[in-house]
A = this chain, B = another copy of it.
Protein backbone atom coordinates (compact mmCIF):
# COMPACT_ATOMS: atom_id res chain seq x y z
CA UNK A 1 0.00 0.00 0.00
CA UNK A 2 1.44 3.33 -1.01
CA UNK A 3 -1.20 5.53 0.62
CA UNK A 4 -0.15 7.23 3.82
CA UNK A 5 -3.50 8.27 5.29
CA UNK A 6 -4.48 5.80 7.99
CA UNK A 7 -7.88 4.29 7.43
CA UNK A 8 -10.25 3.16 10.18
CA UNK A 9 -10.16 -0.38 8.93
CA UNK A 10 -8.41 -2.23 6.14
CA UNK A 11 -9.71 -5.23 4.22
CA UNK A 12 -8.03 -8.57 3.58
CA UNK A 13 -8.55 -11.87 1.81
CA UNK A 14 -6.92 -15.14 2.74
CA UNK A 15 -6.11 -17.84 0.18
CA UNK A 16 -5.33 -21.26 1.61
CA UNK A 17 -3.54 -23.34 -1.00
CA UNK A 18 -3.69 -27.00 -0.13
CA UNK A 19 -5.30 -30.24 -1.17
CA UNK A 20 -4.96 -31.52 2.40
CA UNK A 21 -7.71 -29.20 3.62
CA UNK A 22 -10.02 -29.97 0.69
CA UNK A 23 -9.65 -33.73 1.15
CA UNK A 24 -10.58 -33.51 4.82
CA UNK A 25 -7.21 -34.91 5.89
CA UNK A 26 -6.16 -31.80 7.79
CA UNK A 27 -8.15 -29.55 10.09
CA UNK A 28 -7.34 -25.98 9.11
CA UNK A 29 -6.38 -23.81 12.06
CA UNK A 30 -4.55 -21.09 10.13
CA UNK A 31 -7.75 -19.24 9.26
CA UNK A 32 -8.74 -18.63 12.87
CA UNK A 33 -5.17 -17.72 13.86
CA UNK A 34 -4.86 -15.19 11.05
CA UNK A 35 -8.42 -13.86 11.46
CA UNK A 36 -7.90 -13.10 15.15
CA UNK A 37 -4.66 -11.24 14.57
CA UNK A 38 -6.02 -9.23 11.66
CA UNK A 39 -9.09 -8.29 13.71
CA UNK A 40 -6.83 -6.98 16.50
CA UNK A 41 -5.15 -4.72 13.98
CA UNK A 42 -8.28 -3.30 12.40
CA UNK A 43 -7.92 -5.44 9.29
CA UNK A 44 -11.26 -7.01 8.36
CA UNK A 45 -10.93 -10.48 6.86
CA UNK A 46 -13.55 -10.29 4.12
CA UNK A 47 -13.06 -13.60 2.41
CA UNK A 48 -11.25 -16.92 2.71
CA UNK A 49 -10.74 -19.26 -0.22
CA UNK A 50 -9.39 -22.76 0.05
CA UNK A 51 -8.10 -23.92 -3.32
CA UNK A 52 -6.12 -26.90 -4.62
CA UNK A 53 -2.47 -26.95 -5.77
CA UNK A 54 -3.44 -26.17 -9.37
CA UNK A 55 -1.63 -23.38 -11.18
CA UNK A 56 -4.58 -21.88 -13.05
CA UNK A 57 -6.68 -21.83 -9.89
CA UNK A 58 -3.99 -20.05 -7.91
CA UNK A 59 -3.49 -17.47 -10.66
CA UNK A 60 -7.22 -16.88 -11.13
CA UNK A 61 -7.91 -16.63 -7.40
CA UNK A 62 -5.01 -14.27 -6.66
CA UNK A 63 -5.94 -12.02 -9.56
CA UNK A 64 -9.60 -11.95 -8.62
CA UNK A 65 -9.00 -10.89 -5.01
CA UNK A 66 -5.90 -8.68 -5.11
CA UNK A 67 -7.74 -5.71 -6.62
CA UNK A 68 -10.69 -6.00 -4.25
CA UNK A 69 -8.86 -6.12 -0.91
CA UNK A 70 -6.17 -3.97 0.70
CA UNK A 71 -4.18 -7.04 1.67
CA UNK A 72 -4.06 -10.61 0.41
CA UNK A 73 -2.44 -13.39 2.40
CA UNK A 74 -1.70 -16.85 1.04
CA UNK A 75 -0.59 -19.95 2.92
CA UNK A 76 0.91 -23.15 1.59
CA UNK A 77 2.79 -24.47 -1.40
CA UNK A 78 6.21 -22.85 -0.95
CA UNK A 79 8.14 -26.01 -0.04
CA UNK A 80 10.53 -28.13 -2.11
CA UNK A 81 8.22 -30.80 -3.59
CA UNK A 82 6.44 -31.15 -6.93
CA UNK A 83 3.13 -29.94 -5.47
CA UNK A 84 4.70 -26.70 -4.20
CA UNK A 85 3.80 -24.41 -7.08
CA UNK A 86 2.79 -21.22 -5.29
CA UNK A 87 5.86 -19.09 -6.13
CA UNK A 88 5.67 -19.90 -9.83
CA UNK A 89 1.90 -19.32 -9.88
CA UNK A 90 2.19 -15.95 -8.12
CA UNK A 91 4.88 -14.86 -10.59
CA UNK A 92 2.52 -15.73 -13.44
CA UNK A 93 -0.40 -13.97 -11.75
CA UNK A 94 1.67 -10.76 -11.77
CA UNK A 95 3.23 -11.44 -15.18
CA UNK A 96 6.79 -11.41 -13.83
CA UNK A 97 9.61 -13.95 -14.05
CA UNK A 98 10.66 -16.35 -11.32
CA UNK A 99 14.35 -15.92 -10.48
CA UNK A 100 16.86 -17.33 -8.05
CA UNK A 101 16.78 -14.72 -5.31
CA UNK A 102 20.30 -14.08 -3.98
CA UNK A 103 19.22 -13.23 -0.47
CA UNK A 104 16.92 -16.27 -0.32
CA UNK A 105 19.79 -18.46 -1.53
CA UNK A 106 22.02 -17.04 1.23
CA UNK A 107 19.34 -17.73 3.84
CA UNK A 108 19.10 -21.36 2.72
CA UNK A 109 22.88 -21.73 2.52
CA UNK A 110 23.30 -20.39 6.06
CA UNK A 111 20.67 -22.83 7.31
CA UNK A 112 21.61 -26.00 5.45
CA UNK A 113 25.27 -25.42 4.52
CA UNK A 114 26.39 -25.43 0.89
CA UNK A 115 26.95 -29.21 0.78
CA UNK A 116 23.34 -29.87 1.81
CA UNK A 117 21.89 -27.33 -0.60
CA UNK A 118 20.27 -29.90 -2.89
CA UNK A 119 18.23 -29.09 -5.98
CA UNK A 120 14.85 -29.24 -4.16
CA UNK A 121 16.18 -26.86 -1.52
CA UNK A 122 17.55 -24.46 -4.13
CA UNK A 123 14.04 -24.47 -5.63
CA UNK A 124 12.90 -22.66 -2.49
CA UNK A 125 15.11 -19.67 -3.43
CA UNK A 126 13.14 -19.18 -6.66
CA UNK A 127 11.14 -16.01 -6.02
CA UNK A 128 9.19 -13.67 -8.34
CA UNK A 129 11.32 -10.78 -9.63
CA UNK A 130 10.84 -7.67 -7.50
CA UNK A 131 9.36 -9.50 -4.50
CA UNK A 132 10.39 -8.64 -0.94
CA UNK A 133 11.26 -11.60 1.28
CA UNK A 134 9.50 -12.67 4.48
CA UNK A 135 12.07 -14.34 6.74
CA UNK A 136 11.44 -17.87 8.00
CA UNK A 137 13.12 -18.32 11.40
CA UNK A 138 12.21 -22.02 11.51
CA UNK A 139 13.34 -23.68 8.28
CA UNK A 140 14.95 -20.73 6.42
CA UNK A 141 12.91 -20.99 3.18
CA UNK A 142 11.40 -17.50 2.96
CA UNK A 143 7.96 -16.28 2.06
CA UNK A 144 7.63 -13.17 -0.06
CA UNK A 145 5.54 -10.12 -0.86
CA UNK A 146 4.49 -8.95 -4.32
CA UNK A 147 2.54 -5.67 -4.17
CA UNK A 148 -0.26 -6.38 -1.66
CA UNK A 149 0.02 -10.19 -1.80
CA UNK A 150 1.80 -11.81 1.15
CA UNK A 151 2.90 -15.38 0.44
CA UNK A 152 3.46 -17.47 3.56
CA UNK A 153 4.14 -21.10 4.46
CA UNK A 154 1.29 -23.47 5.35
CA UNK A 155 2.91 -25.16 8.36
CA UNK A 156 1.27 -23.29 11.27
CA UNK A 157 4.45 -22.63 13.26
CA UNK A 158 6.21 -21.15 10.24
CA UNK A 159 3.14 -19.25 9.04
CA UNK A 160 2.74 -17.69 12.47
CA UNK A 161 6.32 -16.38 12.50
CA UNK A 162 5.89 -15.01 8.98
CA UNK A 163 2.59 -13.35 9.88
CA UNK A 164 4.16 -11.64 12.90
CA UNK A 165 6.83 -10.24 10.61
CA UNK A 166 4.28 -9.03 8.04
CA UNK A 167 1.97 -7.49 10.65
CA UNK A 168 4.90 -5.50 11.98
CA UNK A 169 5.33 -3.92 8.54
CA UNK A 170 1.88 -3.14 7.17
CA UNK A 171 -0.53 -0.28 7.91
CA UNK A 172 -3.02 -1.22 10.61
CA UNK A 173 -6.48 0.21 11.31
CA UNK A 174 -8.38 0.69 14.53
CA UNK A 175 -8.65 -2.56 16.50
CA UNK A 176 -12.03 -4.23 16.19
CA UNK A 177 -13.37 -5.00 19.66
CA UNK A 178 -16.13 -7.43 20.49
CA UNK A 179 -18.44 -8.32 23.32
CA UNK A 180 -19.85 -11.83 23.54
CA UNK A 181 -22.83 -12.47 25.76
CA UNK A 182 -24.11 -15.99 26.35
CA UNK A 183 -27.67 -16.78 27.35
CA UNK A 184 -30.12 -19.64 27.14
CA UNK A 185 -32.86 -17.88 25.18
CA UNK A 186 -33.97 -19.15 21.80
CA UNK A 187 -32.59 -17.19 18.88
CA UNK A 188 -36.10 -16.42 17.70
CA UNK A 189 -36.98 -14.88 21.09
CA UNK A 190 -34.38 -12.12 20.78
CA UNK A 191 -34.54 -11.79 16.98
CA UNK A 192 -36.82 -8.73 16.86
CA UNK A 193 -35.06 -6.79 19.63
CA UNK A 194 -31.65 -7.63 18.20
CA UNK A 195 -32.70 -6.40 14.78
CA UNK A 196 -33.87 -3.09 16.30
CA UNK A 197 -30.64 -2.78 18.28
CA UNK A 198 -28.63 -3.37 15.09
CA UNK A 199 -30.64 -0.62 13.34
CA UNK A 200 -29.86 1.73 16.23
CA UNK A 201 -26.11 1.07 15.96
CA UNK A 202 -25.42 0.75 12.22
CA UNK A 203 -21.64 0.96 12.68
CA UNK A 204 -21.60 -2.10 14.92
CA UNK A 205 -21.94 -5.64 13.67
CA UNK A 206 -24.28 -7.90 15.64
CA UNK A 207 -24.58 -11.64 15.29
CA UNK A 208 -26.37 -14.43 17.08
CA UNK A 209 -24.92 -17.93 17.18
CA UNK A 210 -26.82 -20.90 18.60
CA UNK A 211 -24.63 -23.74 19.87
CA UNK A 212 -24.88 -27.07 21.64
CA UNK A 213 -22.88 -27.67 24.78
CA UNK A 214 -23.50 -30.91 26.61
CA UNK A 215 -26.64 -31.41 24.55
CA UNK A 216 -28.14 -28.09 25.67
CA UNK A 217 -28.92 -25.39 23.13
CA UNK A 218 -27.40 -22.04 24.08
CA UNK A 219 -27.01 -18.74 22.33
CA UNK A 220 -24.01 -16.46 21.95
CA UNK A 221 -24.76 -12.88 21.05
CA UNK A 222 -21.82 -10.98 19.62
CA UNK A 223 -21.41 -7.25 19.11
CA UNK A 224 -18.33 -6.02 17.25
CA UNK A 225 -16.99 -2.62 16.29
CA UNK A 226 -14.21 -0.08 16.57
CA UNK A 227 -16.05 2.42 18.81
CA UNK A 228 -15.77 1.63 22.51
CA UNK A 229 -18.63 4.02 23.32
CA UNK A 230 -21.03 2.40 20.84
CA UNK A 231 -19.99 -1.04 21.98
CA UNK A 232 -20.65 -0.25 25.63
CA UNK A 233 -23.97 1.40 24.89
CA UNK A 234 -25.21 -1.48 22.76
CA UNK A 235 -24.00 -4.06 25.26
CA UNK A 236 -25.96 -2.40 28.07
CA UNK A 237 -29.11 -2.56 25.98
CA UNK A 238 -28.46 -6.15 24.99
CA UNK A 239 -28.17 -7.15 28.65
CA UNK A 240 -31.54 -5.47 29.25
CA UNK A 241 -33.08 -7.36 26.32
CA UNK A 242 -31.96 -10.69 27.73
CA UNK A 243 -33.27 -9.85 31.20
CA UNK A 244 -36.55 -8.58 29.73
CA UNK A 245 -37.11 -12.05 28.25
CA UNK A 246 -36.59 -13.61 31.68
CA UNK A 247 -33.01 -14.85 31.31
CA UNK A 248 -29.75 -13.85 33.00
CA UNK A 249 -26.69 -13.30 30.80
CA UNK A 250 -24.58 -16.26 31.90
CA UNK A 251 -21.19 -15.44 30.58
CA UNK A 252 -19.86 -12.12 29.54
CA UNK A 253 -16.72 -12.02 27.49
CA UNK A 254 -15.50 -8.58 26.58
CA UNK A 255 -12.69 -8.59 24.09
CA UNK A 256 -10.79 -5.34 23.98
CA UNK A 257 -7.33 -4.82 22.61
CA UNK A 258 -5.62 -4.93 25.99
CA UNK A 259 -7.10 -8.31 26.85
CA UNK A 260 -6.33 -9.97 23.56
CA UNK A 261 -3.48 -12.50 23.41
Q: Given A22-B45, A53-B207, A123-B191, 11 other A-B contacts at CB below 8 A? A: A19-B207, A20-B207, A21-B31, A24-B35, A83-B206, A83-B208, A118-B188, A118-B189, A119-B192, A120-B189, A121-B188
* A36: interface (CB < 8 Å): yes
A197 nearest CB neighbor, chain B only: B82
A4 at the interface (CB under 8 A from B): no
- Residues of B contacting A24 in the complex (Cβ-Cβ under 8 angstroms): 31-39, 45
Q: Is the interface of A mostly helix, strand, loop or mixed?
A: mixed
Partner of A178 from B21, B23, B188 at Cβ < 8 Å: B23
Across the interface, do A81 and B194 meet the contact criterion of CB distance under 8 Å? yes
CB pair B82 A191 closer than 8 Å: yes
Contact partner of A23 (CB less than 8 A), chosen from B21, B39, B121, B139, is: B39
Which residue of B has the minimal Cβ distance to A76? B209
Query: Which of B19, B46, B57, B120 contacts A22 (CB under 8 A)?
Result: B46
Cβ contact of A82, chosen from B26, B35, B198, B222, cutoff 8 A? B198
Q: List 14 A-B contacts (CB under 8 A).
A: A21-B35, A23-B176, A23-B222, A25-B178, A25-B180, A46-B52, A48-B50, A79-B188, A80-B188, A81-B208, A83-B207, A123-B191, A139-B217, A155-B210
Number of chain A residues close to chain B: CB under 8 A:
69
Most buried by B among A28, A45, A176, A210: A210
**Which residues of B lie under 8 Å from residue A209 when comparing CB positions?**
20, 26
A205 at the binding interface (Cβ < 8 Å): yes
CA distance A4 to B213 in the complex (A): 42
Asked if A228 is an interface residue, CB under 8 A from chain B, the answer is no
